[in-house]
Amino acid sequence: MRMMVYEYAPNGTLSEHLHLKVFEDLDWAARMRIIMGLAYCLQYMHHELNPPVAINDIRSDAIFMTDDYAAKIADVGMWKELADRAKAAKQDGSSRSEPPPDLAGSVFCFGMLLLEIISGKLPEPGGHELTCIWAAKHLKAKNYVELVDTVLEEHKANELEAVCEVIEECTDPDPTRRPAMRDVTGKLREVLGVSPEAAAPRLSPLWWAELELLSIKST
């Protein structure tokens, strides 16, 4: 089953590049490409798979860097399990239903991951409360430059603004006000200008489309 399968991480994890000095720093353009790759993947999972799949614990230490510094999410076991459960429920004719996927929770986690990518700030163990308070102060004041990782020599102001607006929308305390991933992806692509082909690993074009196998198996 070929779905975003991680076989070998020649360049370590996203977390290592963001937080460990022994790994090469990712410049602004590389971070924007990673953001778009993850956005396309989550959009596919939320809006193209049947049933939709939400990742509510997406972490930088589970995102691996390919040889050309594209991002690939490592663990797909959860997604296969969800598809198998949905298929089993249809086959046994049971009236019981699985709870709907928490897409808003997945959007929140994506927003927090974006914040980590642009800021280089380590995630808090056990929760996001303090990080959200720190970020909200600068987001509300539109003082976006205060959120930029100090190791970055340069960034594009219009791209930073777009990413920060998305972070603010995705981490809204009210889940009902968080945007859908297709809207998030559209807004980011409009400003960042990174196509699905450009975001994909060089040796695995449109790798998130491999998730179609999961959709087929669940029907």
Q: CATH 1.10.510.10: does it fit domain 14-217? A: yes
Query: Could you give the C-alpha distances from 190 to 15, 43, 65, 86, 110, in angstroms and in order?
Result: 27, 15, 24, 35, 18
In tens digits, the chain (219 residues) has pLDDT values of 233 444 456 788 999 999 998 787 899 999 999 999 999 999 999 999 888 988 888 899 989 888 888 888 875 555 555 556 556 555 655 545 667 889 999 999 999 999 999 999 988 877 788 899 999 999 999 999 999 999 999 999 999 999 999 999 999 999 999 999 999 999 999 999 999 999 988 765 555 545 444 444 444
Q: 181-192 and 28-47 are packed helices; what angle lies between their axes, rounded to 10 degrees?
A: 150
- 30 touches 21 (CB < 8 A): no
Domain ranges, ordered by start, for the chain:
14-217
- 202 touches 68 (CB < 8 A): yes
